[in-house]
Chain A
């Protein structure tokens, strides 16, 4: 069973996109833990570790990804959680994408992404453990 934490860090005002993803992943047979808006990086990593998820799917619309994402991945790393697949969705300008990969994000999905592509990506990349 694949377990995914869908996380909304920062000050984004709505979570429509995150909920669409959550439902698509559920409909693909995954267990999705959703923790609501305005999560801090510490809260997100704590939830990811406690829930022992295979995948952390972060959604950011506010443009705060350059500070939030490296903080989250650093905390994961500090806690030895290197086996978690980290995905980033939302509005990420092209010029920031390589920065996100450097920070340890495995894949970035832009606004128009077909949810099926995300499902396929997860199924292909989650490791047995």
Chain B
């Protein structure tokens, strides 16, 4: 598939085009970056919901239940589930789909598994590109699942409008993990597996911890008990997502987020320009000559400008 066909297909909501576009973005090369940047203008309509929490608390099961509920409310749903890559082989086993079978049987739901591939910047960029793509393809709600352990995974939650932090009773270190920084980013807290002993205890300690964190604005994050595998409490979760979304709208915070994202895209493009300038210069003898000049005592920033000017001449780009 060529870039234009892919772009048109994605905007038309074609599932094959969506799938291949995500592959391009995921591979982190130039074609994926260009695609994501072109699609940015068509994004900004979707609700982006982040779901994070310790391994095994029931995030995927919850996402499945949420997707089914949202479908009943006439939403289309895009799902991204991010799992860590093995630090040894670089490979990964992506198993979130197992718990999502029921929802993905519906053509109004699209689900994609992503591996973290080990680097913070790369993952966060690919995830942002992937969200942009699903948004541009017309999915009304995008659910992003990450394990709330690594920095890279928490980083992704910056792109979500509403962040849900999921806990389960009985995992002592769960609350510890929460202390380590996810607490501040949660807009809605879920105590899943509330069929298990200790759920009320978890709610209480969570409430205690939340009372210690500084209030951010007028939103006070609700704590909701769920049994995701039996769809208990899911209506309340979706309701609180909607409440949080209208809070964001009322306070113009969605526009702020969109502004920050546009800024982010600009920063990325600037990084890309810098890399392209270096790549082009290195390909020519220019790089070596410039280094020689600097060895002779010439002003490095002046010569950096010359590299930039050379790149500008070599790559004319229309609007």
List A residues at the B interface (Cβ < 8 Å): 1, 3, 22-23, 25-36, 39, 43, 46-47, 49-52, 79-80
Contact = CB atoms under 8 A, between A and B. Distances in A.
B86 A33 contact: no
A37 to B, nearest CB: 9
Interface centre among A26, A28, A46 (most CB of B within 10 A): A26
Nearest to B88: A27
A52 B89 contact: no
**Top 3 A-B pairs, shortest CB-CB distance:** A26-B91, A36-B98, A52-B19
Given A32-B92, A36-B97, 12 more contacts: A1-B117, A3-B23, A22-B93, A26-B89, A34-B95, A36-B98, A43-B101, A46-B104, A47-B104, A50-B110, A51-B19, A52-B19
A36 B22 contact: no
B246 to A, nearest CB: 31
B112 interface: yes
A31 B92 CA distance: 5
A29 B90 contact: yes
Interface in B98-116: 98, 101, 104-105, 110-113, 115
A47 B91 contact: no
A41 B97 CA distance: 16
B8 interface: no
Contacts of A28: 89, 91
A32 B89 CA distance: 12
Interface of B: 15-16, 19-20, 22-23, 26-27, 85-86, 88-95, 97-98, 101, 104-105, 110-113, 115, 117
Nearest to A42: B105
A12 to B, nearest CB: 15
A43 B101 CA distance: 8
Contacts of B85: 31
Given A26-B91, A49-B19, A31 B115 contact: yes
Given A49-B19, A50-B111, A52-B23, A26 B92 contact: yes
B276 to A, nearest CB: 23
28 contacts: A1-B26, A1-B117, A26-B86, A26-B92, A27-B88, A28-B89, A29-B89, A29-B90, A31-B85, A31-B91, A31-B113, A32-B91, A32-B92, A33-B97, A34-B98, A35-B101, A36-B95, A36-B97, A39-B101, A43-B101, A43-B105, A46-B104, A47-B97, A49-B16, A50-B15, A51-B19, A51-B97, A51-B113
A58 to B, nearest CB: 16
Contacts of A46: 104-105
A121 B26 CA distance: 24
Contacts of B95: 33-34, 36
A49 B89 CA distance: 25
